[in-house]
Structure 1
Amino acid sequence: MFEDLQQVLTGRLVTPDDPDWEQVRRAWNLSVDQRPRAVVVAAGPSDVEHTVAYAGAHGLKVAPQAGGHGATRALDGTIVVRTDALDDIWIDSDARVARIGAGVRWGAVQTALDGTGLTGLPGSTGNISVVGFCTGGGSSWFSRPYGSGAASLRAAEIVDAAGERRWIDDASDADLMWALRGGGGNFGVVTAAEVDLHLAPAITGARLMFPIEQAEQVLTAYGKATQEAASQVTLWAYLVHYPDVPAVPEGVRGKSFCMVDGMTPYQPEALEAALSTVRAAGTPVSDTVQSLQPSGVGEFNSVPAPPQALSLITSTFDELTPDLICTLLEYCGQPSLIFQVQVRHLRASADAERPGVAATDPAAQYMLLAVSIVQDPQAIAVLQKFQEALTPWHAGDMSPTGLSAWGSLDDCYSPADLARLRDIKQRVDPDDTFVGNFRLP
Structure 2
Amino acid sequence: MNALNALRSAVRGRVLLPGDPGFDAARRPWNLAVEQPVAAVVEAAGAEDVAALVRHARSAGLSIATQPSGHGATGRTDGTILLRTGRLDGVEIDPAARRARVGAGVRSGRLQAAAAPHGLTGLPGSSPVVSVAGVALGGGLSWFGRAHGWVADGVTALDVVDADGRTRHVTADGDPDLFWALRGAGGDFAVVTGLELALHPAPRLFGGRMLWAAEHAAAVLDAFRRITAGAPGELTLWLDLLHFPGSDPLVAVDATYLGGEAEARDLLAPLDRLPRPLSDGRRTMAADELGAITAEPTDPGAGSSRAELLTRLDDAAAKNLLADPIAPLLSVQVRHLGGALARPSDSPHGALTEPYALYMFGVPSDPRTAEAITARQRALAEAVPVSGRKPFTFLNPAETAADAFAPEALARLRRVKEARDPHGVFRGTFPVRA
Q: One fold, TM greater than 0.5?
A: yes
Q: Which amino acid aligns with 2:399?
A: G
Q: 1:316 to 1:258 in 2, by over 3 A?
A: same
- 2:347 is aligned to 356
SS in 2 for 1:214: helix
TM-score (norm 2): 0.95
SS in 2 for 1:182: coil
**1:309 aligned to which of 302, 314, 318:** 302
| Count of matched residue pairs | 429
How do 1:153-172 and structure 2 match up within 5 A? Answer: 153-172=155-174
Checking the alignment, whether the CA contact within 8 Å between 1:229 and 1:270 is kept in structure 2 is no
**Whole-Å separation in 1 of the counterparts to 2:130 and 2:235:** 22
SS in 1 for 2:268: helix
Query: Are residue 365 (structure 1) and residue 355 (structure 2) matched?
Result: yes
**Whole-Å separation in 2 of the counterparts to 1:76 and 1:274:** 50
Query: Are residue 377 (structure 1) and residue 367 (structure 2) matched?
Result: yes
**Whole-Å separation in 1 of the counterparts to 2:163 and 2:89:** 23
SS in 2 for 1:337: coil
CA displacement at 1:243 relative to structure 2 = 2.7
Checking the alignment, whether the CA contact within 8 Å between 2:312 and 2:354 is kept in structure 1 is no
**1:274 aligned to which of 267, 272, 280:** 267
**Whole-Å separation in 2 of the counterparts to 1:419 and 1:350:** 23
How do 1:35-434 and structure 2 match up within 5 A? Answer: 35-244=37-246, 254-331=247-324, 333=325, 336-349=327-340, 355-358=346-349, 360-389=350-379, 390-391=381-382, 392-434=384-426
CA displacement at 1:351 relative to structure 2 = 6.5
User: Gapped runs of 5+ residues in structure 1?
Assistant: 245-253
SS in 1 for 2:254: strand
CA displacement at 1:353 relative to structure 2 = 7.7
Q: Which amino acid aligns with 2:216?
A: Q
CA displacement at 1:314 relative to structure 2 = 0.4
SS in 2 for 1:393: coil
Checking the alignment, whether the CA contact within 8 Å between 1:74 and 1:439 is kept in structure 2 is no
Checking the alignment, whether the CA contact within 8 Å between 1:106 and 1:298 is kept in structure 2 is no
**Whole-Å separation in 1 of the counterparts to 2:344 and 2:408:** 21
Q: Which amino acid aligns with 1:74?
A: R
- 1:251 is aligned to none
SS in 1 for 2:49: helix
Q: Which amino acid aligns with 1:72?
A: T
10-19 or 266-275, which deviates more: 266-275
Q: Which amino acid aligns with 1:129?
A: S
Checking the alignment, whether the CA contact within 8 Å between 2:146 and 2:341 is kept in structure 1 is no
Checking the alignment, whether the CA contact within 8 Å between 1:240 and 1:258 is kept in structure 2 is yes
CA displacement at 1:361 relative to structure 2 = 2.8
Checking the alignment, whether the CA contact within 8 Å between 1:145 and 1:347 is kept in structure 2 is no
CA displacement at 1:54 relative to structure 2 = 1.0
Checking the alignment, whether the CA contact within 8 Å between 1:119 and 1:199 is kept in structure 2 is yes
**Whole-Å separation in 1 of the counterparts to 2:260 and 2:376:** 37
CA displacement at 1:285 relative to structure 2 = 1.4
SS in 1 for 2:178: helix
SS in 2 for 1:416: helix
CA displacement at 1:292 relative to structure 2 = 1.1
Q: 1:279 to 1:374 in 2, by over 3 A?
A: farther
Q: Which amino acid aligns with 1:340?
A: S
178-187 or 206-215, which deviates more: 206-215
User: Gapped runs of 5+ residues in structure 2?
Assistant: none
CA displacement at 1:347 relative to structure 2 = 2.8
**Whole-Å separation in 2 of the counterparts to 1:325 and 1:287:** 24
Q: Which amino acid aligns with 1:357?
A: P
CA displacement at 1:25 relative to structure 2 = 0.8
CA displacement at 1:320 relative to structure 2 = 2.2
TM-score (norm 1): 0.93
